[in-house]
Amino acid sequence: MSDTYLLEVKKLTKTFPGTVALDEIDFCLRKGEVHAIVGENGAGKSTLMKILSGAYTRDSGTILFDGEPVDINSVEVARNIGVSMIYQEIEDVPTVTVAENIFLGRLPRSKIPGFLNFKELFDATNKILHEYNVEIKPQRKISTLTTGERQFIEIIRAVVVKNAKIVIMDEPTSSLTKSEVEKLFSIVGELRKKGISVIYISHRLDEVMGIADRVSVFRDGKNRGTLEKHELDPDKVVSLMIGHVLKRVEKKPSERKKVVFEVKKLSVRNRVVDFGMKVYEGEILGIAGLMGSGKDELVESIFGLWPAQYKETYFFREKINIKSPVDALRYGIVYLPEERKSKALFLEMTVNDNVVPQWLFYVKKSLFPKRKREVDVTEYYVKRLSIKTPSVFTKVADLSGGNQQKTILSRLMAVKPKMLVLNDPTRGVDVGSKEEIYSVISALSDEGIPLLILSSEIPEICKLANRVIVLSKGKICAEFVDNDVTTENVIRAAIGI
Ligand SMILES: Nc1ncnc2c1ncn2[C@@H]1O[C@H](COP(=O)(O)OP(=O)(O)OP(=O)(O)O)[C@@H](O)[C@H]1O
Ligand SMILES: [Mg+2]
């Protein structure tokens, strides 16, 4: 059983100008297994998936499906074989219902020409949603669903309408809530039961350990090893992934002498109640809290992205009024939002233009007088954050997901901010690069720049912050400093123990 593969990739190579994305890679997939792929940013994970789903074509190498060679040279060929890739930015039609979206291309017609048989459609949809334990009404419009719910619909559609035998998920949980992640796992389990194979790419080793039957580790375009479930061990995976030992960042004690930023009397309807907070020079302040604790509304209301009923904001003791992140930028306060890929990157522009974009000039006119200086700045960050790119003049669209994230971070740092607010700074970034980002964050705080950090991972906050405030029901319910900043303390406080 174990040596009959549904899919076999042998010595597959794919190059882009200046980059060998896949270097004679081998990869095998069993029927009905959940096969996770992990690896550093730029290792070639997404590229292999794009080849399997027909979006890219390979330069050389063999692909066997059910033991027979197949030439996947278009999306149609991939679809006919039964390969379905679930994209993050789902190309569904937002104004149609869940039911129509699932059955698009296979809608039941009514007896009256030109009309749909809605009863049949909704019944069939209910049945299938029920099978996957997804509680969404078939009548709902796609536009009213969360990102997670849209993904579930897309997976179900792949299986039901496209008859997928292999479902590929490339970092599916990066914009899901905790409960949506659990739901996704249960859907994945359902697929496995039905004998459908799942290829699951993720940077979150904890997820991978929980869900995968096997794990392959990619590095520099090669498969460095496929581990069976019983061989899975985080240290082993990490060492295969980065090929060296991680360097850890040291924390320094918090001084809390000079207040740089202060918010007072902040109230957000039904979410945040008379909130106050000081941020000190050189400190890394973590804000933690469960979903619904008000932490996201809190930060967004500070930046004018969420309406506050009342707030007072002070920066270097001067009263300021921040109505948008652009206002904040004028004071040198830089905000990295959660939803950044779509909003913060200029995909068609080069790495250099993304790190040092022209529009920054109005913030500080003499920032980078010459082109040469710009390129120096970009090259510095490319090196500092190990951004994998053939040159600083490569289009950002051509970088891997994690390297795009690092490009945004570089820009924030290149502005020479007076304060940084980072929402999930290492999302989609591999373990090695996480450490590099942590080291830049700690270097900024050494220069006296205060940083505010929110993260979906409490251990990450605790690793970096010298002080953490914990929110519950829109109020600070606990505060920890220096040695008391531990994952255990923060989680206990967040859940109310
Ligand atoms: N369309 C493209 N044009 C040029 N280079 C590309 C293109 N797509 C990918 N690359 C390069 O190929 C390499 C592999 O990229 P890929 O997206 O497969 O990485 P990945 O393993 O998915 O990384 P991440 O974890 O960051 O998403 C990278 O160096 C990337 O810059
Ligand atoms: Mg990728």
pLDDT in tens, 280-336: 999 999 999 887 888 888 999 998 888 889 999 999 999 999 998 888 888 989 888
| pLDDT at res. 108 | 74
Question: Residue 41: CB partners within 8 Å, gap ≥ 6?
Answer: 388, 400, 401, 402, 403, 405, 406, 429, 430, 433
| pLDDT at res. 198 | 98
Nearest to 420 by CA among 360, 298, 331: 331
Nearest to 146 by CA among 169, 175, 182: 175
Q: Ligand 1 center to residue 119 CA distance, Å?
A: 45
Asked if CATH classification 3.30.2310.20 holds for the domain at 7-242, the reply, yes or no, is no
Tell me the Ramachandran region of residue 448: left when phi exceeds 0, alpha when psi lies from -120 to 50, beta otherwise: left
Query: Which ligand lies nearest to the CA atom of residue 430 in the structure?
Result: 1
Q: Residue 166: is its pLDDT beyond 50?
A: yes
**Which ligand 1 atom sits closest to the C-alpha of 404?**
26
| pLDDT at res. 255 | 82
Two structure tokens written together for 476:
């600070």
**Which ligand 1 atom sits closest to the C-alpha of 400?**
17
| pLDDT at res. 341 | 65
Mean pLDDT of 101-116: 75
**Which ligand 1 atom sits closest to the C-alpha of 389?**
31
**Pseudo-torsion of CA 235, 241, 245, 246, nearest 10°?**
-90
Q: Ligand 2 center to residue 334 CA distance, Å?
A: 26
Residue 249's SS3 state is: coil
Two structure tokens written together for 232:
């899975």
Q: Ligand 2 center to residue 383 CA distance, Å?
A: 20
Residue 52's SS3 state is: helix
Mean pLDDT of 98-119: 78
Tell me the Ramachandran region of residue 378: left when phi exceeds 0, alpha when psi lies from -120 to 50, beta otherwise: alpha
Listed by start position, the domains of the chain span 7-242, 259-495
Question: Percentage of residues in the chain with pLDDT exceeding 70?
Answer: 92
| pLDDT at res. 261 | 96
| pLDDT at res. 178 | 83
Strands 197-201 and 284-289: unpaired
| pLDDT at res. 78 | 95
Using 50, 70 and 90 to split pLDDT, how confident is the model at 2? very low
**In contact, 291 and 178? CB cutoff 8 Å:** yes
Domain 7-242 matches domain 259-495 at the CATH topology level = yes
Tokens 């529009």 locate to: 359
Strands (E), 316-369: 318-320, 333-336
Q: Which of 14, 19, 396 to mutate to test the pocket of ligand 1 (most atoms within 8 A of CB)?
A: 19
The phi and psi torsions of 474 (rounded to 5 degrees) equal 75, 10
Using 50, 70 and 90 to split pLDDT, how confident is the model at 242? confident
| pLDDT at res. 240 | 87
How far apart are alpha carbons 214 and 189 in whole angstroms? Answer: 14
Mean pLDDT of 435-444: 84
Using 50, 70 and 90 to split pLDDT, how confident is the model at 91? low
- Greater confidence (270 vs 393) lies with 393
How far apart are alpha carbons 158 and 35 in whole angstroms? Answer: 18
For residue 434, give the amino acid letter: K
Using 50, 70 and 90 to split pLDDT, how confident is the model at 58? very high
Q: What is the pLDDT of residues 327-368, one digit of tens each?
A: 888 898 988 877 666 667 788 888 888 887 655 544 445 555
| pLDDT at res. 434 | 83
Q: Which of 400, 406, 433 to mutate to test the pocket of ligand 1 (most atoms within 8 A of CB)?
A: 400
Q: Ligand 2 center to residue 245 CA distance, Å?
A: 23
- The CATH code belonging to domain 259-495 is 3.40.50.300
**Which ligand 1 atom sits closest to the C-alpha of 171?**
27
Using 50, 70 and 90 to split pLDDT, how confident is the model at 1? very low
